[in-house]
Amino acid sequence: MLFPLALAFQLAADSNYRSAALREFVERAARQNRSAPASLLSYRATVESELALIVRNPEGTEGVISVEQVESDARWRRTGEFAQHIIGYRSQASGPFSALSFLRETWLVPLLYGNRIVLMTGLDRERRRRPRRAVLTAIHPLAEDRDRMFRFSGGDTVFTMRVGGRAIPIVRVDVTPRADAPRASLAFDGELEIDAIRHQLVRMRGRLVVINAPLSVAEQGFSLHAATRAGAEDRKGRETLLKYSLRPPIATERVLLGPDGLVRVALKKPFSDGTVAIDLDPLSLLCRLAATVPAPRFHTVRYAGVLSSHAKWRSLVVPKPAQPALSDGDDGRPTADDAPPRARSAGGYRPWAELLRRTFDIDVETCPSCGARMRVSEARTPFFRNSS
């Protein structure tokens, strides 16, 4: 029984690599990629970048509206200084758009050494007052924790590079993020081209993708996490779930009842005039909290883009309701009761019957005895006699 167990353990250990030789090759490249060589003090390079702006059409297809070619002068020093200066530019666009309007920081990656790939580094010196964006960090495919994040395949020599009279065989390694990564992170998905003799990384070509945790997904700005559960015997988990579901509208740490009967509510952020708290009587506080409770059958979800009510393309993406089939009367013609209801006008007026149905769920146009539709035959105004 020991041999099958040992074989199963070896297969599980090498599941991230196509072969043992590829595992050894990637390990050597990872050791070389730990840090920049001591002899590398600085460099200066001319970099050509191609930027594109892509829009998504209502039909789901994507189109390029702008293609820009940028030539930059990049300078790096071992002390951490990195500068990118644009020295050449040309574009082909269908409108007054430019990717440079959104890229206020350098988009170049200074070094490919280390366990992480740092993006959007540097700061625009001409716009110092502008708040700096958060630095993006992606997991390097040659990082120390790579086995938890990536799967490796390939390992073939694809071409030979000749630099300075030296022939450098290049090995291409395909990198794919694992679907069962332990945590959500930004990772590399693509190809690595590595020097087969010195095991140094020559080039990376691919894209950056978000690795979602198990039972979670993030698409188009929305995230769903279903990996956390509370079992029947998990008292701590159930307590946490109830605290989250029954959380108050204001944190209890920010509410204090004073000796004068007023309720002091501490603010999250001070007002511009320096106010850090407000005092309210209990009834006024309850009135303000009640105003935040939505009315019955009131839509709390607001739609934007093509799903908004006044979007010109809404009719192209929102399906139309099916029209009910008309039944034939005694004379073979459709009856009036089977006709579809008339569409409400674009104005804000609503009939009183519709308001009663929406507010109190009372349908006054339906006969309580036979269920047939009723119509207004006569309307009377109550007459009040003045007793004086």
**pLDDT by residue (tens digit) across 142-169?**
998 888 888 999 999 998 988 888 899 9
Q: Does residue 161 sit in the same domain as residue 282?
A: no
Please tell me the total count of domains within the chain.
3
> What is the model's pLDDT at position 6?
42
**Residue 9 is assigned to a structural domain of this protein:** yes
> What is the model's pLDDT at position 344?
54
Q: Does residue 186 sit in the same domain as residue 267?
A: no
Q: Does residue 83 sit in the same domain as residue 146?
A: no
Total length of the chain: 388
Q: Please give the model's pTM, rounded to 2 decimal places.
A: 0.49
Domain that residue 79 falls in: 38-105
> What is the model's pLDDT at position 353?
82
- Between CA 132 and CA 121 the distance in angstroms is 10
Pairing of β 82-93 and β 62-77: antiparallel
Alpha helix ranges (H) inside the chain: 2-13, 20-32, 235-245, 282-291, 314-317, 352-360
- Mean pLDDT score, 326-348: 53
Q: Pick from 125-134, 192-201, 333-342 the range whose average pLDDT is largest.
A: 192-201
Q: Does residue 71 sit in the same domain as residue 189?
A: no
> What is the model's pLDDT at position 278?
92
Could you read off the pLDDT of 209-220 as tens digits, one per residue? 877 666 777 666
**Residue 306 is assigned to a structural domain of this protein:** no
Structure tokens at 18: 């196509």
Task: Answer with the one of 105, 128, 150 that is the final residue of a domain.
Answer: 105
Statement: residue 374 has pLDDT above 80: yes
Statement: residue 322 has pLDDT above 50: yes
Structure tokens at 331: 């004379």
> What is the model's pLDDT at position 343?
53
Three-class SS of residue 268?
coil
**pLDDT tier, 24 (very low <50, low <70, confident <90, very high otherwise):** very high
Could you read off the pLDDT of 295-320 as tens digits, one per residue? 777 777 777 777 877 788 888 888 77
Q: Does residue 31 sit in the same domain as residue 44?
A: no
Q: Does residue 116 sit in the same domain as residue 217?
A: yes
Q: Does residue 22 sit in the same domain as residue 167?
A: yes
